[in-house]
Amino acid sequence: MFYTREAVHLSSGTHYFFDMKKRIIVIGGGFAGLQFIKNLKPGMFDVVLIDRLNHHQFQPLFYQVATSQIEPTSISFPLRKIFQDRKDITVRMADVLAAKPQNKSVMTTAGAFEYDFLVIATGGKTNYYGNSELGKHTLSLKSTYEAIRIRNVILENFENILNSGENADEGLLNLVVVGGGPTGVELSGAFAEIKRDILPKDFPGIDFSRLKIYLLEGGDHTLNTMSPLARRSSEKYLTGLGVDLRTGIFVRNYDGSTLELSNGELLKSKNVIWTAGITGNIIDGLSPEVITRAGRIKVDRTNRVTGYENIYAIGDIACMETPKYPKGHPQVANVAINQGKNLARNFTRMTKGRKLAEYEYRDLGSMATVGRNKAIVDLPLVSFHGYLAWYFWMFLHLMLILSVRNKLIIFINWAWNYITKNSSLRLILKVNS
């Protein structure tokens, strides 16, 4: 077992020594942090998981919450429920203020926590590339809360359009998604299908031919990191659904009502969703030398933070340079999950004095869905699209959902939506009424 010797001094002068398990503090309950903890051998360490939320979020399906296809509870899993049978794990809901490597502690809104090992798994946040105005006025999609906010804003805007009649503000009638990666493609396709199949039934008084859905991408194609088949297919699907797809276009500025584009065009919109980039959720206290320009933490091949003996970083926040990935691994769930698993195995190796295993990313493929019966799957040896890809996408995402109950709920929602082309989840939910 991996223990440290702790001395207790009594008033009589007697010294007693107790074997104490090493403490690991894990910051972040996303894919990386969750898999690291789940794969630690039970009872070997005392583990404290600190997260600002009390639940794990299944990020690949945020867009379905935002577009009223599934409920947020279907993809949110209480951390205490996940670990309720593990007596060696403590969950604390708090914001991390700073790490204090010099005295091996972490400062949080719930107080200070000491550690023997620190694992940073804080994930990423939306990257506005230094333009704070974009952050003020656009909608982002990095949490369940933000997905609910998008749903609320879009549905409220349709109510405003209906109330305004023919005098509806042009900005309400233009929905703009910025970023042509998987999230942007999936959002655009979902909104296009809702516009065609569902909203006309809910709002018969609105002329939906006036509603425009734009997808802006700075690169030459959507899904730029995927295969040529994926790029061609996604663009064909999107344009077929009526999405106004514009590639090679950057957003220079946005004031809440007008987008200024790189080609000089001004586009009116009060519904702008920003999915164009990601940067790390950096915590204060680490040396500036270990932070990359992209906002990630430099780590070695075992995920140990450069220059620190007992601090590790995994998942989206970690920048591990390898011959295959000299700029760091892609910030995707597969990397986060497997870095978490590898680090957990390495902690077991530590206790046995064995050599640590270096992490090597094995690209198992990528995928995206554009709508009903429309998806693209890239596997190491083959790429395909259409019906088969859509079923493959659904099956894999269902298997990744944590609980059987949630798998069943999501499957029923998907089946109902497929049969009826409708759902009953278009609720505007607000904390303050």
The three-state secondary structure class of 416 is helix
What are φ and ψ of residue 306, in 5° steps? -55, 125
CA nearest to 182, candidates 318, 407, 378, 31: 378
Strand order in the sheet with 23-27: 89-93, 46-51, 23-27, 117-120, 311-313
Mean pLDDT of 204-215: 93
For Cα atoms 230, 128, 275, give the angle at the middle one, nearest 5 degrees. Answer: 30
**417 contact partners, CB below 8 Å, separation of at least 6:** 69, 423
Residue type, 310: N
pLDDT-based confidence at residue 322 (cuts at 50, 70, 90): very high
Which segments of 218-307 are extended strands (E)? 244-247, 251-254, 258-261, 266-268, 271-274, 278-280, 297-299
Tell me the per-residue pLDDT of 218-237, one tens digit each, with 9 for 90 and over: 999 999 999 999 999 999 99
Domain ranges for the chain, please list them.
3-126+279-351, 132-276
Least confident of 83-92, 222-231, 334-343, 420-429: 420-429
* Cα 398 to Cα 419: distance, rounded to the nearest angstrom: 18
Highest mean predicted confidence (pLDDT) among 55-64, 397-406, 409-418: 55-64
Whether 3-126+279-351 shares its CATH topology with 132-276 is answered: yes
Helix-strand-coil percent breakdown of the chain, rounded to 5? 35, 25, 35
Tell me the per-residue pLDDT of 2-54, one tens digit each, with 9 for 90 and over: 555 444 343 334 433 334 789 999 999 999 999 999 999 999 999 999 999 99
Taking the mean position of all CA atoms in its chain, how far away is CA 432? 26
pLDDT-based confidence at residue 424 (cuts at 50, 70, 90): low
Predicted confidence (pLDDT) at residue 413 exceeds the cutoff of 90: no
Q: Six-digit token pair at 91?
A: 């969950």
pLDDT-based confidence at residue 428 (cuts at 50, 70, 90): confident
More confidently predicted of 122 and 404: 122
CA nearest to 268, candidates 214, 229, 217: 214
pLDDT-based confidence at residue 431 (cuts at 50, 70, 90): low
Mean pLDDT of 235-242: 97
- How confident is the model at residue 13, as a pLDDT? 44
Predicted confidence (pLDDT) at residue 355 exceeds the cutoff of 50: yes
Residue type, 32: A
* Cα 118 to Cα 255: distance, rounded to the nearest angstrom: 41
- How confident is the model at residue 179, as a pLDDT? 97
Beta bridge partners of 266: 260
Residue type, 320: M
Fold entry, domain 132-276: FAD/NAD(P)-binding domain (3.50.50)
Least confident of 18-22, 218-222, 311-315, 330-334: 18-22
Strand order in the sheet with 212-217: 139-140, 271-274, 174-178, 212-217, 244-247
Predicted confidence (pLDDT) at residue 204 exceeds the cutoff of 70: yes
Mean pLDDT of 311-338: 95
CATH node for 3-126+279-351: 3.50.50.60
